[in-house]
Amino acid sequence: MIKKMINKTLLAFSIWLSTFGFANAQSLTLDNCLEMTKQNYPLIKQYTLIEKTKEYSIANAQKGVLPQFNVAGQATYQSAVTAVQISLPNMDIPTISKDQYKLYGEVSQSITDLFTVKDQKEYINANSEIETKKIEVELYKLRERTNNLFFGILLIDAQIQQTELLKKDIQNGIEKTNVAIANGVALKSTADNLKAELLKANQRTIELKATRKGYADMLSLFIGKPIDENTNLEKPHRQLFTNTINRPELRLFDLQKKSFDVQGKLITAKNMPRVSLFFQGGVGRPGLNMLNPDFAGYYIGGLRLNWNITGFYTYKNEKKILVNNQSAIDIQRETFLFNTNLTLKQQNADITKMQELIETDKSIITLRESVKTTTQNQLTYGTATTNDYLIAVNAEDQAKQNLILHEIQLLMTEYNAQTTTGN
């Protein structure tokens, strides 16, 4: 009975342990890291500010079509007033006072702004999109930095694994040497050479793990998540390469040109006649009746036309400035595409080079493995020295390290090329 309880307890504990271990196992893909980097970067907070600014600006533009209210007053003293220099019997013609007063309020409704507010809102939206796209461009620049850190860790992980294989080969050599020593065909000191090389391999592992920690700490800052030695970075798949450029910078250039088009509409609207309805009411001395010397109320209503034609002094130059700005954007776009295509050609050449090197690495590894195996067997019979074996082992290890390096470099170059094209 006690034995069954113990077995059940051990079973439950093993299930909990496996579940706990699975829950705490962390695996990261490159796509995860890229997305988390984008979301964790402080600049992402500016999206909210841009959206709020756009909302406030559009609300202000919409309020521009609301009736405008104005209250004004004045008190004046003038040197002369209108007087009727005629004397009529039984009629007293009043004299207007030289001190005059006026207090009035006016409400006006612009008719022109009802048609221009649409262009103002379009201009606000265009500027908001430009600012948003600028942030997207800055965030996009983080992709290559994240790629380099991610593939740097992958390379170190692969080098650590290869170093472990190297240790096994050295350990096998030690065991073979011990057999030779036991058979009297080798001296006891011959194993020391291999043991020293094993210690060097252990030192290499320590160095690689320290370097990995440095890369992991930097990547952790980018993604905002902890990364330790147990975090597994999944090796990404090969990418289908395309030369079609789809970078956010191109959309930024398009938005900037669109903004200049809207500015052209606003310049035209600014120099057009402005028509509005108005109503003015107030009290003054005199009122509208200039012959009444007492305070009197009054009102005026009607249609008002205002045309500031001095704007045409600069109208043509303002239009030419917009044309020049659009041409500047075209030049920036052309320069960007030129530099991007130049980078792509270099990356294409690097990809081709890496593919050829990998095929050569595989052939070299096959030959080096054959030499190592032969030398390892010769150790047992004392026909090969430990130096001979170490030379063979290190040559094979170097060939495998080269393959690892070239494979990771190929993947990194492919993903950097994908980042360059924006696909």
Task: Identify the helix (H) or strand (E) that includes residue 299.
Answer: strand 296-306
Asked whether residue 381 carries a pLDDT value surpassing 90, the answer given is no
Confidence of residue 13 (pLDDT cuts 50, 70, 90): very low
pLDDT at 288: 84
- C-alpha 420/C-alpha 423 separation (Å) is 8
Of 114, 30, 120, the residue nearest 408 (C-alpha): 30
| Mean pLDDT calculated for residue range 344-368 | 94
| Mean pLDDT calculated for residue range 231-242 | 82
Looking up tokens 């992958």, which residue turns up? Answer: 154
Q: How far is CA 253 from CA 41, 71, 128, 230, 265, in A?
A: 24, 46, 14, 44, 19
pLDDT tens-digit map of 117-132: 888 888 889 999 999 9
Residue-level length of the chain: 423
- C-alpha 200/C-alpha 52 separation (Å) is 60
Number of structural domains, the chain?
A: 1
Confidence of residue 207 (pLDDT cuts 50, 70, 90): very high
The answer to whether residue 400 is domain-embedded is yes
The answer to whether residue 291 is domain-embedded is no
The answer to whether residue 263 is domain-embedded is yes
pLDDT at 115: 80
Give the strand pairing for 99-110 and 274-285.
antiparallel
pLDDT tens-digit map of 46-94: 888 888 888 888 888 888 778 889 999 999 998 888 777 777 677 777 7
Question: Domain range spanning residue 327?
Answer: 141-272+313-421
pLDDT at 88: 67
The answer to whether residue 2 is domain-embedded is no
pLDDT at 395: 93
Residue 64 Cα to chain centre, angstroms? 35
- With pLDDT > 70 as the criterion, what percentage of the chain qualifies? 92
Higher pLDDT, 20 or 288: 288
Contact (CB, 8 A) for 153 and 233: yes
- C-alpha 348/C-alpha 226 separation (Å) is 35
pLDDT at 48: 87
pLDDT at 272: 87
pLDDT at 173: 85
- C-alpha 321/C-alpha 57 separation (Å) is 25
- C-alpha 168/C-alpha 174 separation (Å) is 10
Our CA angle for 3, 5, 7, nearest 5°, is: 70
The answer to whether residue 49 is domain-embedded is no
Helix (H, G, I), strand (E, B) or coil at 25: coil
Asked whether residue 24 carries a pLDDT value surpassing 50, the answer given is no
Asked if the peptide bond before residue 273 counts as cis, ω within 30 degrees of 0, the response is no
DSSP 22: H
Asked whether residue 353 carries a pLDDT value surpassing 70, the answer given is yes
Among 73-82, 200-209, 235-244, name the one with the lowest average pLDDT: 235-244
Reported as half-sphere exposure (CB side, CA atoms, 13 A), residue 254 has a value of: 7
The answer to whether residue 129 is domain-embedded is no
Asked whether residue 326 carries a pLDDT value surpassing 60, the answer given is yes
Among 4-18, 69-83, 294-308, name the one with the lowest average pLDDT: 4-18
| CATH number of residue 325's parent domain | 1.20.1600.10
In this structure, what is the dihedral angle of CA atoms 288, 294, 295, 301, given to the nearest 10 degrees? -10
The answer to whether residue 268 is domain-embedded is yes
- Write the CB contacts of 203 (distance below 8 Å, at least 6 apart in sequence): none
pLDDT at 79: 86
The answer to whether residue 288 is domain-embedded is no
- C-alpha 5/C-alpha 96 separation (Å) is 118
| Mean pLDDT calculated for residue range 188-205 | 87
- C-alpha 67/C-alpha 106 separation (Å) is 10
Choose the most confident range, by mean pLDDT, from 15-19, 47-51, 205-209, 313-317.
Answer: 205-209
pLDDT at 408: 92
pLDDT at 7: 45
| Mean pLDDT calculated for residue range 361-389 | 88
- C-alpha 231/C-alpha 36 separation (Å) is 16
**135 Rama sector, left if φ>0, alpha if ψ -120 to 50, beta otherwise:** alpha
Q: How many helices (H) and strands (E) does the chain have?
A: 9, 6
Asked whether residue 201 carries a pLDDT value surpassing 80, the answer given is yes
pLDDT at 410: 92
Task: Identify the helix (H) or strand (E) that includes residue 128.
Answer: helix 113-140
Confidence of residue 269 (pLDDT cuts 50, 70, 90): confident
